[in-house]
Structure 1
Amino acid sequence: MSEEAQTPTPPQPPAHEPVFLLPAAVTGLAGLMVLIHLASTLVLNEEGLIELLYWFAFQPYRFVLAGEDISYALPLIWSPVTHALLHGGWDHLLINVAWLVIFATPLTRRYGAGPMLAIFAVSSIAGAGFFAVTTLYDGVYLIGASGGVAGLTGAAIRFIFQPVVVARHPETGQPVVLGRRLASIREVFVHPSSRWFALIWLLLNAAVPLIPMITGAAINVAWQAHLGGFAAGFFLVPIFERRQEP
């Protein structure tokens, strides 16, 4: 009886963990913000920086100027979104990037890159809209991802504090982890963790305009964009929810 010689299969090297554990869309969005800020600080001169802000920052007073010359309104087509990619300094940028990473990551893993970016964009627009309502005649401009990131925060708290749902496989009876259920508005404020997080976040931002009245110190924080963006993300996220059957 003949025997066949078999070459043993060499052991496979263990799979390498990716260097970056963030979803590609989150890394890409954060990287784009960093690249734009690098270019604005290292490449553009003062005149170029003024042009960048003129065309891509959001300035509500353009609505007023458009009554005299419609060309002033042209940047209003894109600046409610593009303002979110510009930042006033490295501290401003790094805080927004850190907040983006924390809340965009669970949203991207739950819904995908498209819905996360849609929530970010719509929340940026909503934040710009609320900013415009409160600063229409002030001549100030809005930059920073805070409104969009606030929208991601509002969307994420609808599920990140909820308990994990576990079902039974219909054939094997084994437990199957379905993830965290999207909470209703009532459930967000019933659950202690999500309730206190939301209330503290909202109260801190609502208190920002009171600081100059109390201390006399000016503070350049677009609290209007934070609140507008948060509300947009909070109410928009159910559109992307898919009902999971056990």
Structure 2
Amino acid sequence: MSEPEQMPGSQGRPPREPIFLLPNAVTALVGVLVAIHLAATMVLNEAGQTQLYFWFAFQPLRIVLAPQDISVAIPLLWTPFSHAFLHGGWDHLLVNVAWLVIFASPVVRRYGAGPMLAIFLVSAAAGAAAFAATSLYSGAYLIGASGGVAGLTGAAVRFIFQPVLYAQHPETGQRVVLGRRLASLREVFVNPRSRFFTLIWLVLNAAVPLAPLLMGASLGVAWQAHLGGFFAGLLMVGLFERKHS
């Protein structure tokens, strides 16, 4: 049997590897976040940006004003989710994108694109709810993907620190990788690595309100959204594990 023909100039060349090893869903979500911020900063003028934040940022004060004018509350139908696609600056965006790449990737590889996006959006809404609980009358806006990213972090914590499970193939005797088991909430805090990561993450975010006392200035970090999103993802991921298994 003759050997397959090679393309001219291809002899001795190793197969090309992709530049980015990210799952397509993560790349697409990052692309959407970047595209929206590019449009907001390079296409819209100052008045346009103000309107963008007015209609798509999450503002808890709308809940208070709703009894007086129900039309004020209409954006509450989408702003608990849409705020996650807006950012206040490139530094804000890049930090969220970096965190998203790290923790969305294992979630996508384990559950798929749909569950990853569901966790991201529901966690963003949970973060908005936590922000509203502490900022109802402040008039502050919430923007940024950090609540949704925190949810993906909470979801990933349930399995990325667990030991890899193996089985023996019944015919060949070869060791087969089964993957990592989803930990219970108790097991998250029993495992030293997941416990350390979770406690450090929680303490750092819970300490943000104390920044003015220690540093004399606010950090401008929506710690409430981080905590709300994290716990949403931590709890929600079990719904997809049953389908996964």
TM-score by length of 1: 0.94
Q: Deviations over 1:4-31 (max 9, x none)?
A: xx65422576542223211111001111
Instruction: For structure 2, list consecutive stretches of 5 or more residues without a partner in the other structure.
Output: none
Partner of 1:19: 19
Task: After TM superposition, give the deviation of residue 174 of structure 1 in Å.
Answer: 1.5
Partner of 1:10: 5
Bigger Rg, structure 1 or 2: 1
Between stretches 181-190 and 226-235, larger displacement belongs to: 181-190
Between stretches 7-16 and 74-83, larger displacement belongs to: 7-16
Task: After TM superposition, give the deviation of residue 243 of structure 1 in Å.
Answer: 7.9
What residue identity is the alignment partner of 1:210? L
Alignment check: 8 A CA contact 1:178 1:244 kept: no
Taking the aligned partners of 1:33 and 1:213, their CA distance within structure 2 comes to: 34
Taking the aligned partners of 1:61 and 1:243, their CA distance within structure 2 comes to: 39
3-state SS, counterpart of residue 176 of structure 1: strand
Taking the aligned partners of 2:244 and 2:103, their CA distance within structure 1 comes to: 22
> Residue 244 and residue 210 in structure 1: after superposition, are their counterparts in 2 closer, same or farther (change >3 A)?
closer
TM-score by length of 2: 0.94
Taking the aligned partners of 2:134 and 2:87, their CA distance within structure 1 comes to: 21
> Residue 55 and residue 172 in structure 1: after superposition, are their counterparts in 2 closer, same or farther (change >3 A)?
same
Partner of 1:3: none
3-state SS, counterpart of residue 207 of structure 2: helix
What residue identity is the alignment partner of 2:125? I
Using the aligned pairs only, state the percent identity: 68
Partner of 1:205: 205
Q: Deviations over 1:99-119 (max 9, x none)?
A: 000000000000000000000
3-state SS, counterpart of residue 241 of structure 1: helix
Partner of 2:172: 172
3-state SS, counterpart of residue 178 of structure 2: strand
3-state SS, counterpart of residue 166 of structure 1: strand
Taking the aligned partners of 1:205 and 1:11, their CA distance within structure 2 comes to: 57
Aligned residues: 240
3-state SS, counterpart of residue 179 of structure 1: strand
Alignment check: 8 A CA contact 2:111 2:244 kept: no
Between stretches 163-172 and 70-79, larger displacement belongs to: 163-172
State yes or no: 1:135 paired with 2:130.
Answer: no
Taking the aligned partners of 1:118 and 1:134, their CA distance within structure 2 comes to: 25
What residue identity is the alignment partner of 2:4? T
What residue identity is the alignment partner of 1:112? G
Between stretches 11-20 and 88-97, larger displacement belongs to: 11-20
Q: Deviations over 1:156-206 (max 9, x none)?
A: 011111110001122322111011111111111111111000000000000
Task: After TM superposition, give the deviation of residue 212 of structure 1 in Å.
Answer: 1.1
